[in-house]
Amino acid sequence: MVAIKDLKNGMKQVSVEAKVVEKGDTREVKSRFKDETYRIVDAVVADETGSIKLTLWNEQIDQVNVGDNIKIDNGYITSFKGEIQLNVGKFGKLTVE
């Protein structure tokens, strides 16, 4: 497991355990490649070392609630507008514990 304070942009295959402390409103985005629409929510997860934004997609949105302890395996870190974010991606796994 990686502590949130140790996460850096560009990291791959990260495993994180954290608590969901905030969950934003659902918004819809259109795919750039297909004629599909996706639901996304920005959440904030934290451990004892810090917090990070986590983007939830589609069915992940309904799985996760504020106060839940979650585990992400094989996630990755990106930077958007200067803020690092934790992503599950299609090869990662999110579990609510």
pLDDT of residue 50: 97
The predicted-structure confidence for 34-65, as pLDDT tens digits, reads as follows 889 999 999 999 999 999 999 999 999 999 99
Burial of 56 per CB tally in 10 Å (0-12, 13-18, 19+): buried
74: pLDDT confidence band, cut at 50, 70 and 90?
very high
CA angle 86, 82, 53 (to 5 degrees): 25
Percent of the chain topping pLDDT 70 = 100
Domain ranges of the chain: 4-96
| CATH (residue range 4-96) | 2.40.50.140
Task: Specify the pTM.
Answer: 0.91
Interval 26-39 mean pLDDT: 91
* Position 17 pLDDT exceeds 90: yes
Of 77, 85, 84, 78, residue with least CA distance to 13: 77
User: d(Cα 35, Cα 12) in Å, to the nearest integer?
Assistant: 29
